[in-house]
Amino acid sequence: MRSRPSICHRSLHEDRLFTRLRKLDVAEAPRPKLQRPGDVLVHIERVGVCGSDVHYYLHGRIGDQLVQYPATVGHECAGTVVELGPAVRGLRVGDRVAVEPAFVCGECDQCRAGRENTCRKLKFMGCPNEEAGAVAEYRLLPAQNCVPVPAALDLDLAALVEPLAVGLHAVRLAALRPGAKLAILGAGPIGLSVLLCAKGSGPCTPMLPT
């Protein structure tokens, strides 16, 4: 989804909210203010639509994750840094960033063991009762979740970094041997991410059953 052109100087911004099942409205909200010294304010310019977003829209739930209305949605996003907290290093205003949508505590046993993906306090953007979704003009994000992308990289592609990372992780777990044959079940964005990463990993024969 493309947001409207930058309107950084307004004190309000627009959030897209699920207001009930299969209903998405635009609401005005105060532009977020920096809270923690390590926070970054990002003007969100691209948001991909994940299969999970479609489930929340159509069914209002995934398993026991129930959407509580109104709710924000979206997690595959990219944008431009517009403000920095005083403790942020390695990012500048104007940097274009891909966003890691999983917010982790950095302190629990899982984080300390290098398994941030199973952080005991993990909160994910756009998941019910977790972090605010990405479908908004501005989002306050921890600096560690903002990854600068090269100036030449289109933001459409930067928003695809998150699903592409899913494919990369799957291919790494598969530990493909040279020349391996592999079946990829499903040719949606995640299946195609697996395909790209498998092809990039070396000679192999991917098959996408139809």
Instruction: Indicate the residue among 99 and 146 with the shorter CB distance to Zn ion.
Output: 99
Q: State the nearest-atom distance from the C-beta of 196 to Zn ion, in Å.
A: 16
Instruction: Indicate the residue among 47 and 104 with the shorter CB distance to Zn ion.
Output: 104
Q: State the nearest-atom distance from the C-beta of 149 to Zn ion, in Å.
A: 18
State the Cα–Cα distance between residues 80 and 105, nearest whole angstrom.
Answer: 24
Site string for Zn ion, 94-133 (x = CB under 5 A): ----------xx--x--x-------x--------------
Q: Which stretch binds Zn ion (CB under 5 A): 49-57, 131-139, 143-151, 193-201?
A: 49-57
* Total of chain residues touching Zn ion, rule CB under 5 A: 6
Residue 163 near residue 116, CB atoms below 8 Å: no
Q: State the nearest-atom distance from the C-beta of 49 to Zn ion, in Å.
A: 9
Instruction: Indicate the residue among 134 and 176 with the shorter CB distance to Zn ion.
Output: 134
Q: Which of 50, 99, 161, 171 binds Zn ion (CB under 5 A)?
A: 50
Give the chain's end-to-end CA distance (angstroms, integer). 28
CB neighbourhood size of 154 (10 A):
12
Q: State the nearest-atom distance from the C-beta of 82 to Zn ion, in Å.
A: 24
Three-class SS of 132-172: CCCCECEEEEEHHHEEECCCCCCHHHHCCHHHHHHHHHHHH
State the Cα–Cα distance between residues 195 and 17, nearest whole angstrom.
Answer: 33
State the Cα–Cα distance between residues 6 and 75, nearest whole angstrom.
Answer: 20
Instruction: Give 179's contacts (C-beta < 8 A, 6+ positions apart).
Output: 203, 204, 205
Residue 56 near residue 125, CB atoms below 8 Å: no
Instruction: Indicate the residue among 24 and 105 with the shorter CB distance to Zn ion.
Output: 105
Q: Which stretch binds Zn ion (CB under 5 A): 24-32, 45-53, 83-91, 193-201?
A: 45-53
Interface contacts to Zn ion, rule CB under 5 A: 50, 104-105, 108, 111, 119
